[in-house]
Amino acid sequence: MSVVYHESTQTFHLTNGLISYIMKVLPNGALGQLYFGRAIRDRESFDHLLEMRRRPMTSCVFEDNGLFSLEHTRQEYPSYGSTDYRRPAVQILQPNGSRITDFVVLSHTVTPGKPALEGLPATYCEADSEAETLTVRLRDELLGVSLDLHYTLFADRPALARSARIVNEGTLDLHLTHAMSLCLDLPDSGYEFVHFSGAWARERWMKVRRLEQGTQSVESARGHSSHNHNPFIMLRRPGTDEDQGEVIGLSLIYSGNFLAQAEVDTWDTTRVTLGINPFGFDWKLPPGEAFQTPEAVVVYSCRGLNAMSQAFHRLYRSRLARGQWRDRPRPILINNWEATYFGFTQDKLLEIAGAARADGAELFVLDDGWFGARQNDFAGLGDWTPNRDRLPDGLSGLARRVNDLGMQFGLWFEPEMVNKDSGLYRAHPDWIIHVPDRRESQGRNQYVLDFSRPEVVDCIYDQMAKLLAEANISYVKWDMNRSITEPFSEALPADRQGELFHRYILGVYRLYKRLTANFPHVLFESCASGGGRFDPGMLYYAPQGWVSDNSDAVERLKIQYGTSFCYPISSIGAHVSAVPNHQVRRVTPLSTRANVAYFGTFGYELDPTRLTAAEREQVREQIAFMKQYREVIQFGDFYRLRSPYDGNFTAWMAVSPDKKTALVGWYRLLSETNGPCRRVKLQGLDPGQSYTVDGGEAHYGDELMTVGLVTSDSGAGDGQSGERPICDFDSHVFVLKA
Ligand code: DGJ
């Protein structure tokens, strides 16, 4: 791994044998982009890749040079207005109204390892040998503003982390209106733009469109990364599939308003920008102050989508997620939400916990409704004290009784919210995000606390910390159930209102940081009405997240499949729920509900006392199965085999790092009779190893990967004879052992 600098051509070549990232100082002193992709041999000069041409109707930077126009030059951190008309990475509003800047490379440094980003989640190293960081310093002389572009190249990973830091070293009061984390100018537009979009209960469905001249983007302006779009996109070559072809994955480690955009100009070059959404963003930067952008990670694969996903999974699982739970198999939990909603008593909770414990569950999670005056969703948020009517023994008492059953105890919070019917709101009505004297929009009858204010974060911290210190709480589910409206803070001056969204999310990170630092034994699970804030920023603090409120097994196939493109399986909260399913009313077999939920952190979201004896027996077997294989699933390599977006069948698999165990999840939506015999080609096995399938016949890895695993069942035939009758929503998890 190395960062090479060629003085004679002012060229940087970051390469680790897997990828090359090449930049060069341009004639105007800005930093230009020459190449990103598969590793190539180094050389002194890559100047031929600049490709300047004389083009009519083009504005040029220098009077005596008719070739050099920024419009036709690929750049690292461009600004708008000096011969480049595309969307910028940086824009600074100056006291005279000008937004023109001119950043010129001054110097660079290369350091081993990776420095932390102050106040922001980011990837990290545990040893300096794991990465090298290049910082290129640029400066706009007229404004006295310096710009540091950070590039971290990881050893043995096809991944590069980028961020920028802007410092006002001059004397003017400035406003940052664009400060993207990454700009990647690509020489052509022969890509498909793939994003993961949806809404509540159908998060991260894969969407594909061909890049075209013009601008295509996904974004959030809701104050959280959102159910609607995710801060992760892919640019893939047409024809690329899971196993072959070129793809670039771009991910932003951020949980607030973001923009992921691809702008294709009319010469078919592509500019990708990723970062804080400039819409509504205006950060005052007085003399002496600095602004750090969130970090973006870009991964390149020439071996298809699975290889790209695995690079993200490995990096995010082990060098973004942190803490005591990072590398530990996750406890199998039972959550009472869909079992009782708000209608529980302490006795009922203990009954659920006891039954789940008898079946093998390890963690009981008490969801919404245990605090303040919370009987329904009109009251209580903000008052984080246990409701004694419901919990006569208090939280410590309940936790103790759950512990006595032999289980850990977990608790739900929604720290960022308040109901007007609460002691907190009555004491501090100005603590909500709102515009004085204007109507305040509600969402689920609740209001968003102004986390840009340190005193608000401190108050919530004190309440939560008291409970975490008093009761034996091993797990926290941190929920967030509405978007921000009327974005305005009573604590910010007029010229800083454009900072609210970012300051809000920094406040969320501050609270997470204090809680995770002071209660390191607690496993945090992030949640936002399901997957409304499922992003890498959250993953830094909470190693797992509730991906969706939709717990139907069929719906979950698409949601979990889409989520897996960027996020590791150890981060995917997945539970078995009751039927008819509460979101879609579908009835699926208990086996299929578990077969889908295994490929996640696994748990139950139902009342086990309402199951039949036969179902309880099945649950016991499922929990025993998951205990046996969760390390393979949560920490092995995950491969998508067949897409739920493409028809009746879905398949995916997890392979242990030593390739001795593999689990293949196979799912069929609608049953068929007298259908074709079917196989699915596996991935990631050792070609020379022989694997038993479900303890029976053995086949070599090469055969399973080239000919395929036979998945035909009685659906290929009369539907009845054979090992078992078929049904709709059928599935099977094949266990392969070397
Ligand atoms: C939304 C979450 O996604 C659910 O799992 C549950 O915790 C409810 N909120 C509780 O209000």
Ligand 1 and 367: CB distance under 6 A:
yes
Q: Tell which atom from ligand 1 comes closest to the C-alpha of 412.
A: 7
User: Using CB atoms within 10 A of its CB, is residue 622 exposed (0-12), middle (13-18) or buried (19+)?
Assistant: buried
Write phi, then psi, for 628 (nearest 5 degrees).
-70, -35
Tokens of 608: 């086990």
Question: In this structure, are residues 402 and 455 in contact, taking their beta carbons and an 8 Å threshold?
Answer: no
The token pair that represents 425 in the structure block: 């709101």
Tokens of 505: 């999310």
Q: Torsions phi, psi of 531, nearest 5?
A: -95, 40
Which residue lies with its CA nearest to atom 2 of ligand 1?
A: 529
* Residue 615 scores a pLDDT above 70: yes
Structure tokens at 647: 């028809």
Three-state SS annotation for 450-475: CCCCHHHHHHHHHHHHHHHHHCCCCE
Kindly report the protein residue whose alpha carbon is nearest to atom 1 of ligand 1: 529
Return d(Cα 731, Cα 530) in angstroms, integer. 25
| Amino acid letter for position 508 | V
The helix/strand/coil state of 642 is strand
Beta strands in 113-188 (DSSP E): 131-140, 145-154, 159-168, 174-186
* Three-class secondary structure assignment of 66-85: CCCCHHHCCECCCCCCCCCC
Helix (H) or strand (E) holding 31: strand 31-38
Any residues with CB less than 8 A from the CB of 712 and at least 6 apart, and which? 676, 677, 678, 679
Mutate which of 365, 412, 444, 525 for ligand 1? The one with the most ligand atoms within 8 Å of its CB, which is 412
Predicted local distance difference test score (pLDDT) of residue 721: 78
pLDDT at 723 over 80: no
- What is the pLDDT averaged over residues 605-633? 98
- pLDDT bin (cut points 50, 70, 90) of residue 297 is very high
The CA-CA-CA angle for residues 292, 293, 298, to 5°, reads 135
Decide: residue 190, CB within 10 A, 0-12 exposed, 13-18 middle, 19+ buried. middle
Chain centre to alpha carbon of residue 40: 30
CA distances (Å), origin 532, targets 195, 311, 337, 574: 15, 24, 18, 15
In this predicted model, what pLDDT tens digit does every residue of 485-511 receive, in sequence order? 999 999 999 999 999 999 999 999 999
State the Cα–Cα distance between residues 623 and 625, nearest whole angstrom. Answer: 5
Say how many Å lie between the CA of residue 530 and the centre of ligand 1.
Answer: 7
Q: 1 falls in which pLDDT band (50, 70, 90)?
A: low
Q: How far is the CA of 148 from the centre of ligand 1 (A)?
A: 41
Task: Say whether pLDDT at 210 is over 90.
Answer: yes
**Which tens digit of pLDDT belongs to each residue from 298-343?**
999 999 999 999 999 999 999 999 999 999 999 999 999 999 999 9
365 lines ligand 1 (CB under 6 A): no
Q: What percent of the chain has pLDDT over 90?
A: 98
Verify whether ligand 1 is closer than 6 Å to residue 254 (CB atom): no
Structure-block tokens of residue 154: 């990881």
Q: CB within 8 A of 25, min separation 6: which ones?
A: 10, 11, 31, 32, 105
Q: Which of 227, 368, 376, 538 for a ligand 1 pocket mutation test, highest count of atoms within 8 Å of Cβ?
A: 368
Q: Of 365, 527, 559, which is best to mutate to test ligand 1, by the most ligand atoms within 8 angstroms of its C-beta?
A: 527
Matching residue, tokens 């739900």: 412
Tens of pLDDT, residues 659-715:
999 999 999 999 999 999 999 999 999 999 999 999 999 999 999 999 999 999 888
Residue in 656, 599, 651 with CA at minimum distance from that of residue 242: 651
> Residue 528 CA: which ligand 1 atom is closest?
3
Distance from the alpha carbon of residue 583 to the mean position of ligand 1, in angstroms: 13
Residue whose Cα lies nearest atom 11 of ligand 1: it is 368
247-253 and 649-655 as β-strands: parallel, antiparallel, unpaired?
unpaired
> Does residue 658 have a pLDDT over 90?
yes
Measured in Å, residue 641 CA sits from the centre of ligand 1 at: 31
Beta carbon of 549 within 6 Å of any ligand 1 atom: yes
The verdict on the CB of residue 337 being under 6 Å from ligand 1 is yes
Q: What is the mean pLDDT of residues 231-259?
A: 98
Q: Nearest 5 degrees, angle CA 572-CA 576-CA 582?
A: 105
Question: Do the beta carbons of residue 577 and residue 593 sit within 8 Å?
Answer: yes
Strand 544-546 with 523-526, pairing: parallel
d(CA 302, CA 308): 8
Structure tokens at 86: 């595309």
Verify whether ligand 1 is closer than 6 Å to residue 530 (CB atom).
Answer: yes
**Dist. CA 452 → ligand 1 center (Å):** 24
Is 532 a pocket residue for ligand 1 (Cβ < 6 Å)? no
Sign of the four-CA dihedral 50, 51, 52, 57: negative
- Residue 726's pLDDT band (cuts 50, 70, 90): confident
Give the CA angle between residues 137, 142, 145 to the nearest 5°.
40
- Are 412 and 546 in contact, with CB atoms under 8 Å apart? no
Cα 274 to Cα 296: distance, rounded to the nearest angstrom: 7
Residue 337 CA to ligand 1 center (angstroms) comes to: 7
C-alpha–C-alpha distance, residues 557 and 599, integer Å: 10
Residue 287 has pLDDT above 90, yes or no: yes
Q: Which residues contact 247 (CB under 8 A, 6 or more apart)?
A: 234, 235, 236, 237, 240, 300, 301, 304, 305, 308
Q: Count of CB atoms within 10 A of residue 651's CB?
A: 23
Mean pLDDT of 189-213: 98
Q: Which residue's alpha carbon is at the smallest distance from atom 10 of ligand 1? A: 368
Residue from 411, 417, 479, 546 whose mutation best tests the ligand 1 pocket (most atoms within 8 A of CB): 479
Q: At 35, which helix (H) or strand (E)?
A: strand 31-38
Does residue 525 line the site of ligand 1, with CB under 6 A? Answer: no
- Please state, in angstroms and as integers, the Cα–Cα distance from residue 549 to each residue in 409, 534, 590, following that order: 21, 12, 18
Write out pLDDT tens, residues 520-546. 999 999 999 999 999 999 999 999 999
The answer to whether the CB of 132 is under 6 A from ligand 1 is: no
Pairing of strands 690-693, 679-680: unpaired
The reply to whether ligand 1 has any atom less than 6 angstroms from the CB of 546 is: yes
Q: Is the CB of residue 15 less than 8 Å from the CB of residue 4?
A: yes
Q: What is the pLDDT of residue 691?
A: 98
Cα–Cα nearest to 550, from 598, 596, 612: 596
731 C-beta closer than 6 A to ligand 1? no
Residues labelled as active-site residues: 479, 549
Report the pLDDT value the prediction gives residue 396, as an integer from 0 to 100: 97
Ligand 1 centre to CA of 368 (Å) is 7
Q: What is the mean pLDDT of the chain?
A: 97
Rounded distance from Cα 479 to ligand 1 centre (Å): 7
Structure tokens at 432: 């909500």
Nearest CA to ligand 1 atom 9: 529
Distance of CA 703 to the CA centre of its chain: 35
**Rg of the chain, C-alpha, whole Å:** 27
Distance of CA 143 to the CA centre of its chain: 36
Using the atom order of ligand 1, give the atom closest to the CA of residue 477: 7
pLDDT (tens digit, 9 = 90+) per residue, 76-129? 999 999 999 999 999 999 999 999 999 999 999 999 999 999 999 999 999 999
In single-letter form, the type of residue at position 55 comes to: R
